[in-house]
């Protein structure tokens, strides 16, 4: 059976090599007579898997020792609550930059715990760009500034790393982590659900600077208290063991490919080719400011909704699946994360040309 080209925004396509490896390890992991799924999270075997995953991730991103790494449950949306509960400390305000659907979700959740200052928003222009830092109106003493580095639904991505001085910068990188290098030292905390770019759903990565620990509010659920989780190293409660194992295999593969710098080159090439096709004639249109176009989630519209629907349906019949845009945005969205190959992008482009010939 042939695998489809899966453009799903998440849970997203995984590298075939990783899936094959999982399959061959499934019943008997490295001759131990059991599956990773069935191992104690305190066993030497699982701790070996988890510490290697962490080591490889540190190498891929270049994470120094003063940043702690957590693999927790709760998803990126859970973090919308856990971040204020952990980081507010004595502060009463947090600043948020609103660039679309996911930043809106983050700031709405934070309102349960603190005063939210929306320091900048691109809402009035339909969330089609990232507000320039010169337009941000930060509050006097916020606990942190929160951004969504890549808006998965509209396809808007920060082309720059904001400078927030001494105020910790917090970023939701769920849909672009490991797709391009970034300097972790510019951030206080970075978080990402695994299911877009590095694993199956069920595990959330949190990279947090050490000096931000120890401030959790009393009402913060203990299992989501970063400080307690860091102190107990994988053993406070059961971590999502199987997703961590698969994420570890993805990290290993990224290192073997040459690391994030090499992966970024491929991502640039894939995105450029696809946007060039969109821009080639007037048949397909993308609404995002060119500098802020996402390399991961490429959105476009056909001349009318009926054609959008026909495009997605016909593509599906040809093995190009999950191209329908999010219900709030409509149109078409091709998610081309790390695991989508250039061959998949080429197949999509060939289909776009054929479709345009018939309906353009």
Ligand X SMILES: *Cc1c(COP(=O)(O)O)cnc(C)c1O
**How many C-beta atoms surround the C-beta of residue 304 within 10 A?**
9
Asked if 97 and 136 count as a contact pair (C-beta separation under 8 A), the reply is yes
Out of 36, 61, 76, 184, name the contact with ligand X by CB under 6 A.
76
Residue 345, φ and ψ in degrees, nearest 5: -65, -40
Q: Which is nearer to ligand X, 120 or 147 (CB)?
A: 147
Q: Is 102 a residue of the active site?
A: yes
Q: Can you tell me whether residue 206 is helix, strand or coil?
A: strand
What pairing do the DSSP bridges indicate for beta strands 145-148 and 332-335?
unpaired
Asked if 254 and 260 count as a contact pair (C-beta separation under 8 A), the reply is yes
Q: Which stretch binds ligand X (CB under 6 A): 11-19, 69-77, 234-242, 250-258?
A: 69-77
Name the catalytic one among 56, 95, 172, 308: 172
Q: How far is the CB of 76 from ligand X (least distance, A)?
A: 3
Q: Which is nearer to ligand X, 10 or 344 (CB)?
A: 10
Q: Which stretch binds ligand X (CB under 6 A): 22-30, 70-78, 160-168, 273-281?
A: 70-78
Residues 96 and 12: their CA atoms lie apart, in Å, by 27
- Tell me how many residues contact ligand X (CB under 6 A): 12
299 forms bridges with which residues in the sheet? 333
| Per-residue interface string for the shown chain with ligand X, residues 144-183, x marking contact by CB under 6 A | ----x---x-------------------x-xx--------
Q: Does 292 engage in binding with ligand X (CB under 6 A)?
A: no
Q: Does 75 engage in binding with ligand X (CB under 6 A)?
A: yes
Name the catalytic one among 5, 29, 102, 234: 102
Name the nearest CA neighbour of 63 among 192, 165, 179, 190.
190
Out of 29, 102, 275, 283, name the contact with ligand X by CB under 6 A.
102
Q: How far is the CB of 153 from ligand X (least distance, A)?
A: 8
DSSP 293: B
301 forms bridges with which residues in the sheet? 285
Residues counted in the chain: 360
Residues 235 and 285: their CA atoms lie apart, in Å, by 50
Q: How far is the CB of 83 from ligand X (least distance, A)?
A: 12
Name the catalytic one among 5, 68, 95, 196: 196
Residue 11: is the preceding peptide bond cis (ω within 30°)? yes
Q: Which is nearer to ligand X, 101 or 253 (CB)?
A: 101
Q: Which stretch binds ligand X (CB under 6 A): 54-62, 73-81, 110-118, 162-170?
A: 73-81
> Could you tell me how many helices (H) and strands (E) the chain has, helices first?
9, 13
Out of 5, 10, 71, 216, name the contact with ligand X by CB under 6 A.
10
Residues 89 and 57: their CA atoms lie apart, in Å, by 29
Nearest residue to ligand X on Cβ basis: 75
Q: Which stretch binds ligand X (CB under 6 A): 18-26, 39-47, 71-79, 81-89?
A: 71-79
Q: Which stretch binds ligand X (CB under 6 A): 14-22, 72-80, 314-322, 335-343?
A: 72-80
151 forms bridges with which residues in the sheet? 156
- Kind and range of the H or E element at 344? helix 342-359
Tokens read off for 248: 């570890």
Q: Is 234 a residue of the active site?
A: no
Q: Can you tell me whether residue 147 is helix, strand or coil?
A: strand
Q: Does 131 engage in binding with ligand X (CB under 6 A)?
A: no
Q: Does 193 engage in binding with ligand X (CB under 6 A)?
A: yes
Q: Which is nearer to ligand X, 147 or 352 (CB)?
A: 147
Residues designated as active site: 102, 172, 196
Contacts with ligand X, residue ranges (CB under 6 A):
10, 75-77, 102, 148, 152, 172, 174-175, 193, 196
């Amino acid at each position: 059976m042939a695998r489809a080209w899966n453009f799903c925004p998440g849970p997203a396509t995984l590298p075939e090599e990783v899936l094959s490896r999982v399959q061959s390890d499934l019943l008997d992991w490295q001759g131990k007579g059991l599956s990773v799924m069935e191992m104690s999270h305190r066993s030497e075997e699982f701790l070996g898997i988890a510490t290697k995953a962490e080591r490889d991730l540190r190498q891929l991103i270049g994470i120094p020792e003063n940043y702690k790494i957590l693999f927790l449950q709760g998803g990126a949306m859970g973090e919308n609550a856990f971040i204020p509960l952990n980081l507010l400390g004595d502060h009463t305000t947090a600043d948020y930059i609103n660039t679309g659907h996911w930043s809106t979700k983050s700031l709405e959740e934070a309102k349960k715990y603190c005063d939210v200052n929306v320091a900048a928003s691109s809402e009035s222009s339909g969330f089609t760009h990232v507000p320039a830092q010169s337009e941000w109106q930060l509050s006097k003493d916020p606990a942190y500034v929160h951004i969504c580095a890549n808006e998965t639904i509209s396809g808007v991505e920060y082309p720059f790393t904001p400078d927030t001085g001494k105020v910790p910068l917090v970023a939701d990188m769920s849909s672009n982590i490991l797709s391009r290098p970034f300097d972790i030292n510019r951030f206080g905390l970075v978080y990402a659900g695994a299911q877009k770019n590095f694993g199956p759903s069920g595990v959330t990565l949190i990279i947090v600077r050490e000096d931000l620990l120890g401030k959790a509010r009393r009402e913060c659920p203990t299992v989501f208290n970063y400080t307690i989780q860091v102190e107990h190293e994988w053993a406070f409660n059961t971590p999502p063991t199987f997703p961590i194992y698969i994420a570890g295999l993805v990290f290993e593969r990224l290192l073997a490919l040459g690391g994030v710098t090499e992966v970024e080159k491929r991502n640039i090439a894939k995105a450029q080719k696809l946007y060039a096709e969109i821009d080639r004639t007037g048949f397909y249109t993308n609404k995002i400011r060119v500098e802020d176009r996402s390399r991961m989630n490429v959105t476009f519209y056909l001349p009318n909704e009926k054609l959008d629907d026909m495009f997605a349906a016909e593509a599906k019949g040809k093995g190009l699946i999950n191209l329908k845009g999010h219900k709030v945005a409509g149109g078409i969205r091709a998610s081309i994360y790390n695991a989508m190959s250039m061959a998949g992008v080429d197949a999509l482009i060939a289909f776009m040309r054929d479709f345009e010939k018939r309906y353009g």
